[in-house]
Structure 1
């Protein structure tokens, strides 16, 4: 279950719960860690704020029947995204994982069991969550997984960031998301556009859920609207160099 760590309108005090504070429309948000503070751990939440580039990412704990439409929209706009997946997705949707790779997307590490990683204090337990997903991915694709990691629920600790770095991973948070993960309370198109158009900003790392019916229905139009606003699309590879 994804909790509402994905969208916070006020700055969070806890270092274990990723949060954002939004000000003027079109401007980057503040966060509970700066880009400079995160960089020492090879962690990121935003790209170059001087360039109108968007970095699109999706989280998925399971397949809800909407990913094919999302992939279709991405292909139409020639946008490469990063999908942060968990073990359940790997075991139940190997063909969809293969399609993501074949169509030029990154498939990255959202841990195997989607736990609160900030509660994990040992490298052994941390590396097992990361490593089990790597093993599953390699079994499906025959390839090594890109070493990008997103903490489930946005919950993290400094020791987690250090352990991820020791394992060779880059940690990715986000600078724009909205409440899109409740199946029985999906946002309307108008509600989605209000957040995703009003809060878009240069260098945005956008988090969406591919389990969202709304996202599957609006993505084609959303990408068009962002393009009309002068934005182009990059990949997380561009941020890490």
Structure 2
């Protein structure tokens, strides 16, 4: 049954298991993903904004609360930066106050699945759907609102099947083009180690992934955002990313349409 499901899809990305990965070739330039921008776009999935402008998108993953999110929110407010927070069911259950604060302060709250499983091993549509819709239901119960339809696969593990199913559920899958090893609670990087990765690798259109469970991120965020701004970067939201892509797609369609009649 699994093989039948897998064989329905072309193998541009491994249909069985894929770990999202990046290769940085040039400082200040977008890295190469192990799935291309154009390939991902077929499924309304993104890892970078295709732009030459110094725009970045700040995103946080939160599997649990580690005491740092309030400070992170304070810093975002200070810099007037709107971020996206990808949350799991446990976080919604335990921290409804912080979730409501995220919303009230203009941040996007998005879907990181209910149980944070390895989604690359989820092949059947019903199980995949349940991971996303269970979180949707809890979010609506807590906030009275619909969750933003952005989905990030836990640990970046996915399959082509997953991309298609997320798209069919109306979700846009969001990977990243800049991250670093910040997630281990007992092995936090130093400020210097963080900046060694996060400063030289910033690039136009970067989707930056940080974990809100990180003590280091909480401590460096103010200086990090200051440094990014000094380099000329401003911050957009995922809504603006998608809206711009939609505009570009329409513009290309009409351009091709009119060229056909020239």
TM range, smaller chain: over 0.9
Tell me whether 1:105 sits opposite 2:96 in the alignment.
Answer: no
The gaps in structure 1 that reach 5 residues or longer are 1-12
CA distance in 2: counterparts of 1:48 and 1:73, whole angstroms: 27
User: What is the CA-CA distance between 1:27 and the residue it aligns to?
Assistant: 1.0
User: What is the CA-CA distance between 1:51 and the residue it aligns to?
Assistant: 1.0
Residues 59-138 of structure 1: matches in 2 within 5 Å? 59-138=61-140
Q: Secondary structure at the match of 1:144?
A: coil
Q: Which runs of 4+ in 1 moved over 6 A?
A: none
CA distance in 2: counterparts of 1:40 and 1:185, whole angstroms: 38
Count, aligned residues = 229
2:6 aligns with: none
Q: Secondary structure at the match of 1:198?
A: coil
> Could you give the per-residue CA deviations for residues 20-70 of structure 1, whole angstroms, max 9, x where no partner exists?
001121111011111111000000000133110010000000000000010
1:197 aligns with: 199
CA distance in 1: counterparts of 2:171 and 2:26, whole angstroms: 33
Residues 201-220 of structure 1: matches in 2 within 5 Å? 201-220=203-222
CA distance in 2: counterparts of 1:16 and 1:238, whole angstroms: 28
2:153 aligns with: 151
2:188 aligns with: 186
TM-score (norm 1): 0.93
User: What is the CA-CA distance between 1:16 and the residue it aligns to?
Assistant: 1.1
2:229 aligns with: 227
> Could you give the per-residue CA deviations for residues 172-192 of structure 1, whole angstroms, max 9, x where no partner exists?
000000000111110100111
The gaps in structure 2 that reach 5 residues or longer are 1-12, 244-262
CA distance in 1: counterparts of 2:102 and 2:118, whole angstroms: 26
CA distance in 2: counterparts of 1:140 and 1:79, whole angstroms: 24
1:4 aligns with: none
User: What is the CA-CA distance between 1:239 and the residue it aligns to?
Assistant: 1.2
Tell me whether 1:165 sits opposite 2:195 in the alignment.
Answer: no
Larger proportion of helix: 2
CA distance in 2: counterparts of 1:51 and 1:82, whole angstroms: 20
User: What is the CA-CA distance between 1:197 and the residue it aligns to?
Assistant: 0.2
CA distance in 2: counterparts of 1:169 and 1:163, whole angstroms: 9
2:249 aligns with: none
> Could you give the per-residue CA deviations for residues 62-108 of structure 1, whole angstroms, max 9, x where no partner exists?
00000001000100010000000000000000000000000000000
CA distance in 1: counterparts of 2:53 and 2:238, whole angstroms: 14
CA distance in 2: counterparts of 1:74 and 1:172, whole angstroms: 21
2:250 aligns with: none
State whether residues 180 and 209 of structure 1, in contact with CA within 8 Å, keep that contact through their aligned partners in structure 2. Answer: yes
